[in-house]
Structure 1
Amino acid sequence: MGTAAGWQSALGWLSRPDLFSVAVVSGYAVDALHLALACDLRVARDDAYLSFGDVRHGRIPALGVSRVLVDLVGYSRALDLCVTGRVLSGAQAQAVGLVDRLAAPA
């Protein structure tokens, strides 16, 4: 199964209404940000850094995450994140509404 097909499969599983999913982001979550956006609750640790690294390689965020991103942070900020690939710390991600909770390292 290719990478895109694997992501699509995971996102399909996460969209089931009978399941509740939680993403815990620690360290650099470049490609994993797509998966975290598909979850119902997103928690970032203090040491988390989130971005759409794909845009630096000429690829736009795929798999429907841009719609979720707009719902969470608004169109203008979503456009900025999708076009620039800017990296947000865990605290910045919480401040803009990208993650729901901020947790200290264990």
Structure 2
Amino acid sequence: MSTATVKGQLIQEDKMLHFGVGAAIGAGTTGLVYGITKNRTKAVIWGIGLSTLAGIAKEVVDHNSYGKADTGDMLATTLGGVVGSFSIKIAIGNGRRRR
């Protein structure tokens, strides 16, 4: 019988922070780009892209500073960006008025 310590199955607090920051970056960028371009697709691409870039940059810094990068953190940041961007896209709507 093994007596190894097992981490809890709950999402780690660090991953939730990465998700939250990614969502904020994704939503903010999507809203800003849409406000400038009025193009929902371009706004979502920029929102997801910038949150992904932020996640990669953070893990590069972690790798260079601490010798350890966590792809799970990068993925959590990106997933947050996807959720944030699509939340804004849904809020914006399709731009057509119903009669």
TM class by shorter-chain length?
A: under 0.3
Structure ranking higher in helix proportion: 2
Larger Rg: 2
Normalising by structure 2, what TM-score?
0.26
Could you state the TM-score of these two structures normalised by the residue count of structure 1?
Answer: 0.25
Q: Which has the higher strand share?
A: 1
Instruction: Select the structure with the greater relative contact order (CA < 8 A; seq sep ≥ 6).
Output: 2
